[in-house]
Structure 1
Amino acid sequence: MHVHVNAATSVDGKLSSRRREQIKISGDDDFARVDEIRATTDAVLVGVGTVLADDPHLTLDDDELVSAREARGEPPHPARVVADSRARTPTDARILDDEATTYVLVSAAAPADRRADLEASGAVIVEAGEERVSFPEACDALEARGVERLMVEGGGEVIFSLFSDGLVDELSLYVGSMVIGGRDAPTLADGDGFVADFPSLSLRAVERVDDGVLLTYDC
């Protein structure tokens, strides 16, 4: 499986403010670029924190990209994946509509009633891990379901875990021309943080997009 992390941060590396509200960091050109990446993937992954904060839809915005996928014999939109250890995804979340398949990754500790509620709302439950979602197990399970290219759109806890497990193949990072600040504001890679064996990246390209910079890395 090829795992492509895509994110937008402020100059000081923040995904959002300490209030964890959605902030527009990039512009129209970058939004179009993200849509194009989505169109080439089999599934798009976010953490449950992103679902709770932003209620994203994670479908394609450009009708031409939808048509191109259908012409290739693919579903109109990539599948949607939520990393949700305790099955906290709201049953009325936008990602649970019938526009695309939605996988909810849970741990063995997720309550049975919450799993049942999500399944009744259209989710496909995938168990991976005991107390928390195990991303190596989850990636194997998704690959068995036909997901060969996975796009990851956050948040920081998910991205850190994927780097920690050595699963990231590619990183696209848009750095917007703004400062957010705040010791409690989420960063690109939250979690416990590394104290040794820091993941090493190889810078492939630098490009100006909107009023910011797009950095592309091989991992």
Structure 2
Amino acid sequence: MTRPHVLLSVAVSVDGYIDDRGADRFPLSNAEDFDHVDRLRAESDAVLVGAETLRRDNPRLLVNSAARRADRVSNAKPEYPMKVTVTGSGDLDADLQFWHHGGVKLVYTTDTGRRLAEATLRDLATVVTLGHRVDFGRLLDDLGARGVERLMVEGGGRIHTAFLAEGLADEIRMAVAPMLIGQATAPRFLHPARFPGGPARRFHLEDVTRLGDVAVLRYFPKT
């Protein structure tokens, strides 16, 4: 069974934060970067965010460009990539925008979280259990069996950390915004973890792209 190519996508401040402590989403990206992310979504078979990101940001997680959606359809793909979320507890809000826009939605949870997720979402999404814990390897196996070849992971920090700590990320797209947040308790790209190879391990830097005032770094962690 072939697992999908896993792309982690994140926007960070120069000092490594992905948001501030405010109630509203902090704008790190610019218009050019948003458009580039939209293109990457259109090229993906599935897009994944964690349940915490759904609760905090209430994203629709769509391909916004009508031309890109039309290209997907002309290539015999669904208009939108599959939308995926992960929750250990199964605690999800059925009123979030994520469930009411786009195409197929998939929820990965645990044996204990499955009942709550199914009762809450009903016919809004397909709920899949990964066993007694969230097993990201099993998640990728299941997505591969569903025909997903490219998975774009858009956060949050716990999800990105899990993929990297378990050696499951093939590529990192990091957009660095020219600003400083400087709040010690604001969320960062990654949480502390034991990463493969430890601090001495170096990723391969494939390229650096300038999008307006944002620098986009493309890393390959596995090479």
Task: Describe the SS at the equivalent of 1:85.
Answer: coil
Gaps of 5+ in 2: none
Distance 1:145 1:175 in 2: 33
Distance 1:66 1:196 in 2: 37
Q: Do the aligned residues in 2 keep the contact of 1:10 with 1:176 (CA within 8 Å)?
A: yes
Q: Residue 169 of structure 1 aligns to which amino acid in structure 2? A: D
Residues 49-128 of structure 1 mapped to structure 2, 5 A cutoff? 49-97=52-100, 99-110=102-113, 112-118=115-121, 120-128=122-130
1:203 is the counterpart of 2:208? no
Gaps of 5+ in 1: none
Q: Which structure: greater helix fraction? A: 2
Q: Do the aligned residues in 2 keep the contact of 1:98 with 1:122 (CA within 8 Å)?
A: no
Q: Do the aligned residues in 2 keep the contact of 1:26 with 1:210 (CA within 8 Å)?
A: no
Q: Do the aligned residues in 1 keep the contact of 2:164 with 2:195 (CA within 8 Å)?
A: no
Residues 17-32 of structure 1 mapped to structure 2, 5 A cutoff? 17-19=20-22, 21-32=24-35
Q: Do the aligned residues in 2 keep the contact of 1:20 with 1:185 (CA within 8 Å)?
A: no
Q: What's the TM-score once normalised by structure 1's chain length?
A: 0.93
Seen in structure 2, the aligned counterparts of structure 1 residues 116 and 210 have a Cα distance that, compared at 3 Å, is same
Seen in structure 2, the aligned counterparts of structure 1 residues 111 and 19 have a Cα distance that, compared at 3 Å, is farther
- Using the TM superposition, give the Cα deviation of residue 129 of structure 1 relative to its aligned residue in structure 2, in angstroms: 3.5
Provide, for residues 65-114 of structure 1, a one-character-per-residue CA deviation record: whole Å limited to 9, x for no partner.
00000000000000000011111221111111252101111011215143
Aligned to 1:158: 159
Identity of aligned residues (%): 32
Aligned to 1:174: 175
Task: Describe the SS at the equivalent of 2:78.
Answer: coil
Distance 1:47 1:7 in 2: 13
Q: Do the aligned residues in 1 keep the contact of 2:90 with 2:116 (CA within 8 Å)?
A: no
Seen in structure 2, the aligned counterparts of structure 1 residues 149 and 19 have a Cα distance that, compared at 3 Å, is same
What value does the CA root-mean-square deviation take over the aligned residues? 1.6
Q: How many pairs are equivalent? A: 216
Q: Do the aligned residues in 2 keep the contact of 1:2 with 1:150 (CA within 8 Å)?
A: yes
Q: Which moved more, 1:204-213 or 1:27-36?
A: 204-213
Aligned to 1:137: 138
Residues 184-199 of structure 1 mapped to structure 2, 5 A cutoff? 184-190=185-191, 192-194=192-194, 197-198=197-198
Provide, for residues 110-159 of structure 1, a one-character-per-residue CA deviation record: whole Å limited to 9, x for no partner.
151432222x141110111413x111011111111111110000001000
Task: Describe the SS at the equivalent of 1:208.
Answer: strand
Seen in structure 2, the aligned counterparts of structure 1 residues 110 and 25 have a Cα distance that, compared at 3 Å, is same
- Using the TM superposition, give the Cα deviation of residue 189 of structure 1 relative to its aligned residue in structure 2, in angstroms: 1.1
Q: Do the aligned residues in 2 keep the contact of 1:82 with 1:105 (CA within 8 Å)?
A: yes
Q: Residue 186 of structure 1 aligns to which amino acid in structure 2? A: P
